[in-house]
Structure 1
Amino acid sequence: MHNNDDFGFLIQIINRQVFRFFSNAGKSIGISSMEVNILNYFFDNKKKQLYQIDLETAFNIRSSTATANVNLMEKKGLLKRIPDPQDMRRKLLVPTKKAFVLEKELNYFKQQLDFKISNNLSSSEQKELKKMLKKIIKNLKE
């Protein structure tokens, strides 16, 4: 039986709730929760050239999972692969016009979630929580 104060249990509950939120948000615009996350990642990193390896690193997913997601998003017309002018063996991932049409709604969903998470937290508690979450992520990578 789980103790409701275990870190792993609490984080698992939060993970499920965030997944459910983005799943429902994505359904409302015809995309999956992972596609919501990937597109948000692109929109947050507009000034960077992004490759599949960047998705693998950012989301801590296997190459095969990233490939499957990119292939599906390409089929849906949300992403395209283009040759990297610096290295023709590599492919840049670029959101399409169809993806950019969703940007405003995706930003709204992200703001909604941030509000739900931080609603009853002071500014200093929010900063401390972010700091602690980053430490936890680092600890789990080691």
Structure 2
Amino acid sequence: MEKNIGRMVKIASNQLSREFDQFAKPYDLTGMQMSIIDFLSHDWKEEYYQRDIEKEFNIQRSTTTVLLQRMEKKGLIYRQVSEKDARQKSVHLTEKAEALVDACQTYFASKEATLESLFSEEEIAVFEKILRYYMKEK
């Protein structure tokens, strides 16, 4: 059978998404919502905007809009006028979402620890290089 790395990456991505969704389901979340909660919980920036989420997850504006609307409806996020730019709305976690942060971060940390236990630093570095190639990063 002919190798097709791109297909294997897609299959692995699908499997990882299913695992995220399975973990998130008891919390009434999707894997993507869980990922956004994790992303917004980090203090890398003073304020996060929809475009930050679009860029972080490489998703289209329309997809992000629907995703954030659903999270808002579930009481996981709220938007408010930015303190830095009144034309923008920043995205924030609610107390309900804040209560889920530890579970999300613990899950992601366990996935990382499993990878690190199965593969050497060199193997992980090569894998990251391949992923960056497919993600079109430099």
Distance 1:118 1:12, change over 3 A: farther
The residue number in structure 1 matching 2:125 is 127
Task: For residue 60 of structure 1, report the CA deviation from its aligned partner.
Answer: 1.5
Within-5 A mapping of 1:20-31? 20-31=18-29
Q: 1:92 aligns with which of 90, 93, 96?
A: 90
Matched letter for residue 11 of structure 1: V
What do the CA deviations read for 1:4-47 (whole angstroms, capped 9, x no partner)? x211111011101110110001102110111011112112x323
The residue number in structure 2 matching 1:39 is 37
1:62 aligns with 2:60: yes
The percent identity for this pair of structures is 28
Distance 1:16 1:116, change over 3 A: farther
Distance 1:103 1:112, change over 3 A: same
CA distance in structure 1 between the aligned counterparts of 2:131 and 2:15, rounded to whole angstroms: 16
Any stretches of 5+ residues in structure 1 without a counterpart? none
Alignment RMSD: 1.9
Matched letter for residue 101 of structure 1: A
CA distance in structure 2 between the aligned counterparts of 1:47 and 1:88, rounded to whole angstroms: 21
Q: Secondary structure at the match of 2:86?
A: strand
TM-score by length of 1: 0.86
Task: For residue 131 of structure 1, report the CA deviation from its aligned partner.
Answer: 3.0
The residue number in structure 1 matching 2:72 is 74
Task: For residue 105 of structure 1, report the CA deviation from its aligned partner.
Answer: 0.6
CA distance in structure 1 between the aligned counterparts of 2:133 and 2:7, rounded to whole angstroms: 17
What do the CA deviations read for 1:104-134 (whole angstroms, capped 9, x no partner)? 1101211232234344211222233223322
The residue number in structure 1 matching 2:136 is 138
Any stretches of 5+ residues in structure 2 without a counterpart? none
